[in-house]
Amino acid sequence: MEAATAHVARAREFHQASRWEEACAEYAAADTEEQLAAEDLEAYAEAAQVCARGDEAVALLHRVFVLRVSADELDDAAQVAFWLWWALLNSNKAVQASGWLKQTSRTLGPDMAGSVWLKIPEAMFHGTTGNRARADDLLRAIVDEGQGEVVPWALSMWGQTLIDDGRLQDGLDHLDEAMAILLNHGLSPRVTPWIYCAAVRGCCLARDFARARAWNRSMARWLDSLDSLAGAYLGNCRIYRSRLMFLNGAWPDALDEIAAVCDDLDGYAGWVCGHAYYQLGEVRRLRGEWDAAEDAYRRTAESGCPTQPGLALLRLAQGDVDAASAGIRRALTEVSAKPDRLDLLKAAVTIYLEEGKIQAARDAVTEFEELTGELTTPVIEAETATVTGALALSEGDPGTALPLLRQAVGAWQEQGAPHEVAKLNVLIGQACRALADHDGAQLEFSAARETFERLGARPDLEQLNRIVAATDTAPETHGLTQREIEVLRLIARGKGNRAIANELHLSERTIHRHVSNIFTKLDVDSRTAAVAYGIKHRIVEMGTL
């Protein structure tokens, strides 16, 4: 008895100090001496859940549930049932989680079916399957009727649902309210990571990166105060921390952080693991580490998480435009959440323009503008200006493109996002060159080059080199994309499609399509006529033959 009491006392001290592994050891020792009471058993389960001992947490919560039901403490039992469902879900055991909810309903009876805690799984189901109106109703009822930690939890879920539906400001307001409760009153170790992750994720989806950074600083202070960051429960917070590091140009730190999370999750098969590997794939892709990026996207898919638009952009960087286009088109058929759809459409515009499919790019820009019609955050306005400007530039209208691109670069500078700024520098440089402002173009290209070199953005740097080389002698493109100009110059050197494909690391089918596009845009019907047109209009210089 005395030994058990001493173990419990130490367990509670460790728990209070967020030293959960040590708390688990002491709770286990106490439980061996004498079965823990429900309150301490639930604290033990919480410690196990936070430090990624999911199976142990599930077993403990089963015991707590039985104790609560036996004592006729049905409200408390419903809350325990929720946490057991959540533990199963986070262990990638969705079928068992669903079965547990059905069992819970029978055990607790119809009077407890409306428990606010047990409304959360139903709200999550409706939110993730597209019935956001029903999710709204349930979450509003939870916030109105609930007390304690269920309220900030529901507010966070509600905020994300609203943002997915395009109601950005309402969603951000709900997330801010949940964060205010957390910062003013403090919440349990199980709830705190959820509130932090929901706030940062929601801000990122809404493109409010300034707000995301503010909440991330608060989250980082909390994470840095913890004794251990292992496991999926805290790993999700670290994923968003890595994402914001990357956005702000701290690429080595971002890579270290997300690589550590993936190492911690090795062998774990839940959605958090897929989320982590997707972020790792994005970092690797933009650094030009294509094999590593490919492996990360594979792990993402194995965890049941989407791999687009990252995988399509990887294929584009590798020169497989057909695969990139097919991947992005397929993803657009199945994604409805507005923020995720905007990400896909941005990538689609880039891919379609590279592919020479101007009408497809126009359609993607039109949908982008329709989706963002009532969304007025600075970054969303910048993204709209970017896709519209890139399209105008490809259509041979640099005068329209330039003010749009200038608008976008200013917004991204305010967000402290150097890579986004540098990509816009390249587009602005191309617009300046098309308007015969060679000095302006050189300054923009130099600024982009400095940033790409500093960040280690190797694919962007290589693309910039190709653009500079392709445009040095071609003040006017006559509607050809930069890739098509490259192909035309190689045709002028007498190369066939297979040789061009080998030199540019593209497929022969892609080269064939580029040649066809060149004929159509220049209104010619042979390779000889295309070269003659290119020489006459200084797209191809005699010195390149």
pLDDT digits (tens, 9 = 90+) for 514-524: 999 999 989 89
pLDDT reported for residue 348: 97
Q: What are the tokens at 73?
A: 């403490």
Q: Calculate the dihedral angle through the C-alpha atoms of 285, 291, 293, 294, rounding to the nearest 10 degrees.
A: 120
pLDDT reported for residue 234: 78
Mean local confidence (pLDDT), 461-469? 89
Q: Flag whether pLDDT at 473 surpasses 60.
A: no
The pLDDT tens digits of the residues spanning 183-208 come to 998 898 889 988 998 898 899 888 88
pLDDT reported for residue 544: 43
Contacts of residue 74, defined as CB under 8 A and 6 or more positions apart, other chains included, come to 68, 108, 109, 111, 112
pLDDT reported for residue 383: 95
> In angstroms, how far is the first alpha carbon of the chain from the final one?
93
Q: What are the tokens at 94?
A: 């969705």
pLDDT reported for residue 474: 45
Report percent pLDDT > 90 for the chain.
Answer: 54
* pLDDT tier for residue 472 given thresholds of 50, 70 and 90: low
Whole-model pTM: value is 0.78
* pLDDT tier for residue 182 given thresholds of 50, 70 and 90: very high
Mean local confidence (pLDDT), 366-393? 90
pLDDT reported for residue 436: 83
List the domain boundaries for the chain: 1-109, 308-373, 376-472, 477-545
pLDDT reported for residue 246: 95
pLDDT reported for residue 541: 61
Cβ proximity of 405 and 426 under 8 Å: no
Mean local confidence (pLDDT), 361-386? 90
**At CA 228, angle to CA 49 and CA 4, rounded to 5?**
60
- Which comes out higher in pLDDT, residue 448 or 186? 448
Cβ proximity of 215 and 179 under 8 Å: yes
* pLDDT tier for residue 222 given thresholds of 50, 70 and 90: confident
The pLDDT tens digits of the residues spanning 293-313 come to 999 999 999 988 999 999 999
Q: Flag whether pLDDT at 133 surpasses 80.
A: yes
pLDDT reported for residue 471: 54
Contacts of residue 517, defined as CB under 8 A and 6 or more positions apart, other chains included, come to 356, 480, 481, 484
Residue 143 amino acid letter: V
Going from the C-alpha of 126 to that of each of 118, 161, 337, 369, 519, the distances in angstroms are: 14, 10, 13, 27, 51
Q: Flag whether pLDDT at 470 surpasses 70.
A: no
* Buried-state track 507-533, b at ≥16 Cβ within 10 A, e below 16: beebbebbbebbbebbebeebeebbeb
CA-to-CA distance for 47 and 27, rounded, in angstroms? 9
Q: Report the chain's mean pLDDT, rounded to a whole number.
A: 89
Which helix (H) or strand (E) segment holds residue 58: the answer is helix 54-70
**CATH code assigned to 1-109:** 1.25.40.10
The pLDDT tens digits of the residues spanning 82-109 come to 999 988 887 778 899 889 988 988 888 8
Mean local confidence (pLDDT), 120-134? 87
The pLDDT tens digits of the residues spanning 31-89 come to 998 899 999 999 999 998 888 788 899 999 999 999 999 999 999 999 999 999 988 88
Mean local confidence (pLDDT), 428-438? 90
**CATH code assigned to 477-545:** 1.10.10.10
* pLDDT tier for residue 18 given thresholds of 50, 70 and 90: confident
pLDDT reported for residue 542: 46
CA-to-CA distance for 421 and 412, rounded, in angstroms? 6
Show the beta-strand stretches assigned E in 188-308. Answer: none
**CATH code assigned to 376-472:** 1.25.40.10
Cβ proximity of 195 and 158 under 8 Å: no
pLDDT reported for residue 506: 79
Among 377, 417, 370, smallest CA distance to 171 is for 377
DSSP 134: H
Architecture of domain 308-373: Alpha Horseshoe (1.25)
**Within this chain, domains 308-373 and 477-545 share the same CATH topology:** no
